Amino acid sequence: MDKLLIAQKFGKSLSSYNQEAKAQKIIIKRLVSLFEKQNLSSFKRILEFGTGTGLLTKEINNRFQYNNLFLNDLSERYISFVSAQYSAQELQKISFIEGDIESIFIPENLDLVISSSTEQWVENKKIFYNKIYRSLAKEGYFVFSTFGVDNLKQLREATGKSLKYSNLETNKQELSKYFRIIDAQEDRISLNFESSLEILIHIKKTGVNALSRENWTRKSVKEIMQKIERVCKNGELLEITYHPLYFILKKK
C-alpha cells in the first residue's frame, strides 16, 4: 500500500471533504454515541489517529475533558488545517504528530486511543494492535470505526479496485488477543445519487480513490460511468453502500 499516494489523494480532497463526507459524519456520531455508554467524560491523555479535517476532533472537544490531546495524520496539510481551527489557549493542550501511525513513535500511558474511518488503511493489523496495546495505560480504551466486507461493494464491482476488508467476527477474533471487547457492532449506510457523475465526484471529494495512481482519461471515465450505472442502479437512483464496523475496546 502506497502511503504517500494516500496522503496525496486525501490532500487533494481537503477543501471538499467536510461537505461531501455524509457517511463519515454519521459514523463519527454513532461511534461517539456508543462510547458514551461507558459514562466516561474525563481523560488525562488522548490520541486520535487519522485526524483528517478534524470532524472527530470536534466531537472529542465538545464531549470530553482532557489534559493532553495528541492528533495524528499522514498529511501535513490536514494537520495545518485542523490546527487553524483552535485558539492559542486550546492549542496548549494539543500536540500534532505527522506521519504513518504504523511506523511513527506514539505517546505512552494513553487513557484513550480513538479513530474513525482510518484503521482500514493499516497494513499489518497484528503489529499495529500490539502497538496500540502497549501505548495504553492500565484500563485504557481503544475506540474506533473501520469498514466491513460490503463497503463500497458497488464501486468494487465497477472498478475492480478495493481495499481488503474483514468481517466483524474476524476483526473481533484478532482484537480479542489484546483487548476486552466491550461492544462491537456493524451498520450499513446507503447514499443515493442521481447520476454516475455525482458518484465519481463523491469519490474524488472524499479521497475514496486513494488506492489508484491512474489518471482517468475521458475514455476510462466513460467506461467507469457506464459500469456504475449498471451496478449501482436502485430504482430511479444510483446507490453506494458504506459498511462501518464499530469497536469499543478496553486493554486486557
Q: Does domain 3-151+162-190+242-251 have CATH number 3.30.300.130?
A: no
Residue 7 above 90 pLDDT? no
Q: How confident is the model at residue 4 (pLDDT cuts 50, 70, 90)?
A: low
CA–CA gap between residue 44 and residue 8 (Å, rounded): 33
Mean pLDDT value across residues 164-181? 97
Each residue's pLDDT tens digit, 149-163: 999 999 999 888 888
Each residue's pLDDT tens digit, 26-80: 999 999 999 999 999 999 999 999 999 999 999 999 999 999 999 999 988 889 9
Q: Which residue has the cell 499495529?
A: 128
CA distances from 158 to 37, 77, 167, 188, 201 (A): 39, 31, 21, 19, 15
